[in-house]
Structure 1
Amino acid sequence: GPHTIHQYAPLDVPRYVAGFLEHWKPDLAVFAESEIWPNLIMQSAARGIPLALINARMTKRSFRRWRRLPGLAHPLFGRFTVVLAQNEALARRFSALGAPCTLSVGNLKVDAPAPPVDNAALERLRLALADRPLLMAASTHEGEDQVMAQAHRALAQSLPGLCTIIAPRHPERGGAITEMLKGQGLHVAQRSLGILPDRSSEAYVADTIGELGTLYKLAPVAFIGGSLVNRGGQNPIEAVRQGAVVLTGPHWQNFGDAYDALIRNRGAIVVHSAEEIAAAARQLITDQAELGSMRQRADAALSKISGALPATITALLRFLPNEEGLVRAS
């Protein structure tokens, strides 16, 4: 907006940080998630600038490392005026490291708007695919694309015309994925080459950035990657917001609160193999009533853990001399 300025943060080197703070003279410094920059934190605190860590998270591994260094951790985390953690367990970790005021307010990503949909592109894909059954794999990591190819072959036996969409986490892998799928005898269309799927396409490699919202709107079922291989999982919230029912592998600790809520409320399905992906997708694609029920349960699950955004804004406003200015900027 007109009240927002983008400026890269300085390298965390004392003289660069000093110049940055002297130039901008901030009233409040806000850090997000696990971004801990010691020089920026210490110099900001020395200048009397309030420090907030929002949507705060820390892995168990990082916590163990920091606990071994109390002489470094406590002076550093003790400089934060407030830490707004994603859940109670994380709030306790930051408190144990010396943060004087920690609150559990939830995950800001739950309150994020649905990812954008390109309606023109969506219509082109719908026309090209002509009401064929669809299965999507989003944000896949190396090793998961082969599993999706196996799931496709198993599922295609009972769902003629199936097209599987693979959107890799790292688009630069698109060429290798396409070659792997072709090597398994599948007809493949590759998005980065400007090729739309047609009636002969069995797989569509969506190796571009910024189109997940459109693809989630298109496909009724989405496997979310980084979860069969242990990368901690990727964001399921965007899929739910656009109406795709979520399948996930067993490794989803990066988005634990969201997945806990979804799985507990039967709004997502945990799978461990190509066979389980195929079985779950078959049930959902062929049973529209169950597909609709899972969508409703997923929406309800995320609604129960929403609210981090207003809580975060309320907490930050009290540190600013001009609350009205922040409201306009937001």
Structure 2
Amino acid sequence: MVLSGLGRLGLWLHLRGRHPAMPDRIALSPGDGPLLVMRATPEAHAAATQVGARLVKARPDLRILSLGTAGAPDPAEDPAAAERLIDQARPFALLLLGADLPAGLITAAAARDIPIILGDAHLDPQDGGWSLRAAMRRALLGEMQAVMVADADSYDTARRMGISRRRLTMTGPVTQIHEPLSCTEAERAGFAQLMSGRHAWLAACVPPSEEAAVVEAHRAALRLSHRALLFLVPDSAERADALADEIEASGLIVARRTADEEPIEEVQVMISDGPTEMGLWYRLAPVTYLGGTLSGDDANSRNPFEPAALGSAIVHGPATDRFATEWRQLDGAHAARRVSDAEDLAGAIAELSQPDLIATLASNAWTVSTGGVGVAMQIAAPVLKVLEERPA
């Protein structure tokens, strides 16, 4: 491993004294097929599952040693333990998934000329700087035969770290595939005909703490488009009728799903009777605000890949811990609109009455939410190439 002086110092300080207990022998999968060592961060679990499936489908004789699982402890930061693992497993390659660059493992593999491949990586912009940590990570990343990053910002960071375009690919993230929520097609078609080209948006599973902000956002939309329609889904079915009464009292015309009313021309707000028909509302609304993300009252918030998979552009607040991985993937791909407060939400909803803005967000979101298999195949490709080119 060729390191700069700063990178060598950073690596020495990072690994100094890191010697977790490791077994003398590693349990390997039975068989005599080629063995791949794979390490994934918790955030990259979906990537590990899908990439592993692609690899085994292409090479049924392939054995995969997944570090951190039962029988395969993770020697990420212990060079001596990593050397024992590499020497026992004798892998043809090391596949790393996620943002971590495990120094001990990379050092041991590089010293033995084991090809190292990094996939589904999200890089910190600070990695492109000149701190001791950045110098160490730059040196470790330089050992990779192929680097596949999940978003444009990570690609730019990798270029600043000196990774050549020949070794660098932006794949997008590996995402879990979710089957689109269903609805009754006849009902969807009937509603769509009633709406007759009106601009519509959905506020999904809105807690009481966000109801006022959603209504004000709709008033902002009405000022730009007097025919705008809001589908409002409270986070509890029990809240539907009381919410409808409050909105009617504020001067807006409301239709109630509980009364089998329909969104005719005069209706400005359609109140759902709870989150049981989300597949219908996602299909009808080209824009969706996912409730709970503005206030953090997110016990009933929805997975953002639900509207993404059905072509609805997504707006969300700063509280994204509940589906942190999904939000990180969408935001990294410029596939969602983030707002900071109620005023910002109103501005975003009004602005997203423009079809071109909606189409860009919705297309990016659909690509992220449905692209898991294709990205997994992209990450698997350089692993399979190493396998094909290795000596018999």
**2-side partners of 1:274 and 1:168: how far apart?**
17
* Cα offsets for 1:103-126 (capped at 9, x unmatched): 989999831211113211111212
Matches within 5 A, 1:1-330: 87=43, 110-232=176-298, 233-286=301-354, 288-303=355-370
Kindly provide the CA deviation profile for residues 172-203 of structure 1, in whole angstroms up to 9, marking residues without a partner as x: 11012111211211111110121112111110
Q: Distance in 2 between matches of 1:160 and 1:129?
A: 13
Shift of 1:127: 2.3
Over 3 Å counting, the alpha-carbon distance change for 1:156 and 1:100 in structure 2 is farther
Structure 1 residues 179 and 109: CA distance shift in structure 2, 3 A:
farther
| Partner SS, residue 223 of structure 1 | strand
Query: Which residue of structure 2 lines up, in the alignment, with residue 4 of structure 1?
Result: none
Would the aligned equivalents of 2:175 and 2:370 in 1 still touch at CA under 8 Å?
Answer: no
Q: Could you say what secondary structure the match of 1:87 adopts?
A: helix
Deviations 1:49-91 (A, max 9, x none): xxxxxxxxxxxxxxxxxxxxxxxxxxxxxxxxxxx9852599x
What letter is aligned with 2:325? D
User: How far apart, CA to CA, are the structure 2 residues paired with 1:100 and 1:255?
Assistant: 30
**TM-score, L = length of structure 2:** 0.50
- Give the secondary-structure state (helix, strand or coil) at the position aligned to 2:208: coil
Q: Is the deviation greater in 177-186 or in 224-233?
A: 224-233
* 3-state SS in 1 of match to 2:190: helix
Q: 1:231 to 1:289 in 2, by over 3 A?
A: same
Deviations 1:182-239 (A, max 9, x none): 1211111110121112111110001144311111111110000111121344311110
User: TM (normalized to structure 1)?
Assistant: 0.59
Moved more, 218-227 or 131-140: 131-140
Could you say what secondary structure the match of 1:114 adopts? coil
After TM superposition, the runs of 4+ consecutive aligned structure 1 residues lying more than 4 A away are 97-109, 303-310
1:301–1:108 distance in 2 versus 1, CA, 3 Å: closer
Where 1:207 maps in the other structure, the secondary structure is coil
Query: How far apart, CA to CA, are the structure 1 residues paired with 2:374 and 2:291?
Result: 26
CA shift in 2, pair 1:265/1:158, >3 Å = same
**Any conservation in 1 of the 2:181–2:278 contact (CA below 8 Å)?**
yes
Give the Å deviation of 1:100: 6.0
Q: What is the CA distance between 1:102 and its match in structure 2? A: 8.5
Matches of 2:73 and 2:187, distance apart in 1: 44
SS of corresponding position for 2:296:
coil
**Cα distance in structure 1, aligned partners of 2:198 and 2:73:** 50
SS of the counterpart of 1:285?
coil
Q: Percent identity?
A: 22
Q: Shift of residue 130 of structure 1?
A: 2.3
Query: Matches of 1:240 and 1:109 in 2, distance apart?
Result: 12
Moved more, 230-239 or 242-251: 230-239
Show structure 2 runs of 5+ residues with no match. Answer: 1-39, 47-67, 75-96, 99-119, 121-172, 378-392
Assess if the C-alpha contact under 8 Å between 2:217 and 2:350 holds in 1: no
Which residue identity lines up with residue 334 of structure 2 in the other structure?
R
- C-alpha displacement at 1:291, in angstroms? 1.9
Given that 1:223 and 1:246 are in contact with CA atoms closer than 8 Å, whether structure 2 keeps it comes out as: yes
Distance 2:251 2:73 in 1: 55
State the structure with more CA Rg.
2
Q: 1:307 to 1:231 in 2, by over 3 A?
A: farther
Unaligned runs of at least 5 residues, structure 1: 1-83, 91-96, 311-330
Q: Could you tell me how far apart the structure 1 residues matched to 2:307 and 2:249 are?
A: 30
- The one-letter code sitting in structure 1 at the alignment partner of 2:313 is V
